[in-house]
Amino acid sequence: MAPKGTVRVLVVGESWIKHTIHMKGFDVFHSTEYEEGGGEFLAAIAEAGHEVTYVRAHEVSSQFPTTAEALAAFDVVVLSDIGANTFLLTDETFLRSELTVNRLELLADWVRGGGGLIMVGGYMSFSGIDARARFGWSPLAPVLPVEILDIDDRVEKPEGVTPTVHLADHEVLGGVPTEWPALLGYNRVRPKPGAELVAAVGDDPLLVVDRVGAGRTVAFTSDFAPHWAPPAFVGWEHYRTLWASIVSWAGANEPGGER
């Protein structure tokens, strides 16, 4: 049992492997690198006293919970930059053609039963690049607080776009100021009827929250890491407070935000 106020968080995704081809005149060679992008976010929620478990993108098949009992060990699940296929085409299905649990259906049921879900934007979030993230066709779509487009939903803003806070007093923000650093892009979505639009980027949603059954859901349509979240945002003095508060709100399914 976690201490009162502590949220048990499962963070999934925000990792990748790069395979590079180097061409130097006549000669060609390859190199491979593994990278993770969520260091500041993970530090922010750990510093706030929350219990953090991190499942990297390539670990989903073997380490993401496959039973309601295993998922009940967490209060909040954060998905960042990891597409629906990673949950649906696990080793059992893709490599061995075996029947197995639908991890996204399991997650959706867990949310309705009182879990907190946060989806953070990225090239493999919501619809994603070339519509490859595919969450709009997944069992998770009904519990998200936004409607997902069926096209490539990225909005690239190399000139920067400054967020506008619409609900400054909402507890999900934890009292952070309304002036935020600029972002470099986001996924375009539409808030569902009844969901709360807390912050926007231009005419598009940035931070949307909702309650689904006994659970809570959050969509943050930009990223918590580069490139969409530039150094000015990741290094913002209120960055850690903001994310700790978002996690706390998602994990509080009792009145008053207390567990």
CB-CB contact of 100 with 65 (8 Å): no
Residue 70 belongs to some domain of the structure: yes
Q: Between vectors from CA 10 to CA 171 and to CA 48, what angle results, nearest 5°? A: 45
pLDDT tens, residue order, the chain (259 aa)? 455 578 999 999 999 999 999 999 999 999 999 999 999 999 999 999 999 999 999 999 999 999 999 999 999 999 999 999 999 999 999 999 999 999 999 999 999 999 999 999 999 999 999 999 999 999 999 999 999 999 999 999 999 999 999 999 999 999 999 999 999 999 999 999 999 999 999 999 999 999 999 999 999 999 999 999 999 999 999 999 999 999 999 998 543 344 4
Q: How far apart are CA 86 and CA 124, in angstroms?
A: 10
Please measure the distance between the N-terminal and C-terminal CA atoms of the chain and give it in whole angstroms.
11
| Nearest alpha-carbon partner for 63 in 4, 123, 15, 132 | 15
Alpha-carbon distance of 161 to 97, in angstroms, equals 45
Q: Which two tokens stand for residue 179?
A: 């002036």
Domain membership flag for residue 192: yes
Decide if 68 is inside a domain. yes
Q: What is the CATH number of the domain that holds 43?
A: 3.40.50.880
Number of domains making up the chain:
1
DSSP 71-103: HTT-SEEEEES--HHHHHS-HHHHTT------H
Tokens of 171: 């507890």
Range of the domain at 205: 8-15+33-257
> Does some domain include residue 92?
yes
- Residue 20 dihedral angles phi and psi, to the nearest 5°: -110, 140
| Distance separating alpha carbons of residues 217 and 34, to the nearest angstrom | 30
